[in-house]
Amino acid sequence: MTKEVTTVSEAGFSATNTIREFETTIDATGEDAPDTLETLLATYGACYIPALRVGGQQRGVDDLGKIAIDVTGDLNDDDKLEAVSFGIRVEADVDDETGNKIIDRAFELCKVHDALKESLHAETSFEGDAF
């Protein structure tokens, strides 16, 4: 299986991405659309949510309910991504031990996590019964 995306920039630092029948715009300057790192962080969080759901099911929590992840990316002096952290909140009443097991399993399942260099493994906090 292969995934394909076409990225086109007519001028400047903004690019339009065609993904199947969908289009997204990314602007490296962040003026007209999310910038490249914001888009990466959003993609990481969006990938991690279904991984949490499956990880929860595999660790005995059938339904995590509402999930919110505050994704934070710290930049170095060159404005490159240096660290990522997830503040994870779930609706289900999940104890810390089970939450940590779900987090670990979700990292094993998350495809975006696999694609990042090891130093960008997201630091996490987990809060059950959060909503």
One domain, residues 80 and 43: yes
Residue-level pLDDT, tens digit, the chain, 131 residues? 999 999 999 999 999 999 999 999 999 999 999 999 999 999 999 999 999 999 999 999 999 999 999 999 999 999 999 999 999 999 999 999 999 999 999 999 999 999 998 888 788 889 889 98
Which CATH number fits the domain that encloses residue 123?
A: 3.30.300.20
The pTM score is 0.89
One domain, residues 22 and 40: no
Asked whether the beta carbons of 125 and 87 are under 8 A apart, the reply is yes
Domain encompassing residue 46: 36-127
One domain, residues 53 and 2: no
Of 105, 99, 70, which Cα lies nearest the Cα of 87?
Answer: 70
Please, what is the angle between helix 36-58 and helix 96-109, to 10°? 120
Q: How many domains does the chain have?
A: 2
One domain, residues 46 and 4: no
Using one digit for the tens of pLDDT, what is the confidence trace for 106-130?
999 999 999 998 888 788 889 889 9
One domain, residues 56 and 112: yes
